[in-house]
Amino acid sequence: MSDKTAFFSKIGNIRIRLHRPLEGKLKTATITRDCGEWYVSYVCEVESQPLPETGSSVGVDVGTTYFCITSDGEFVGNPRYFNSSMKALRVGQRSLSRKKRGSNRRKKAKAAVAKLHRKVARQRLDFHHKTAAKLIRENDLVAHEDLNVSGMGKGNLARSIHDVGWGQFFSLLSQKAASAGRTVIAVDPRYTSQACSKCGHTCRENRVSRSRFVCQSCGHTANADWNAALNILARALPSVQNVEVMRGLRSPVLQGGA
Which residues does residue 145 pair with via DSSP β-bridges, in sequence order? Answer: 187
DSSP state of 206: G
CB distance 179 to 51 below 8 Å = no
CA distance 183 to 230: 17
Q: Is 146 a catalytic residue?
A: no
The residue from 61, 72, 140, 163 that is catalytic is 61
How far is the first Cα of the chain from the last one, in angstroms, to the nearest whole number? Answer: 59
The residue from 72, 74, 145, 163 that is catalytic is 145
Q: Is 61 a catalytic residue?
A: yes
H or E element: which one contains 214? strand 212-214
User: Would you state the torsion angle of the CA atoms of residues 157, 158, 159, 162, taken in this order, to the nearest 10 degrees?
Assistant: 120
Tell me phi and psi for residue 193, to 5 degrees: -90, -10
- The catalytic residues are 61, 145, 225
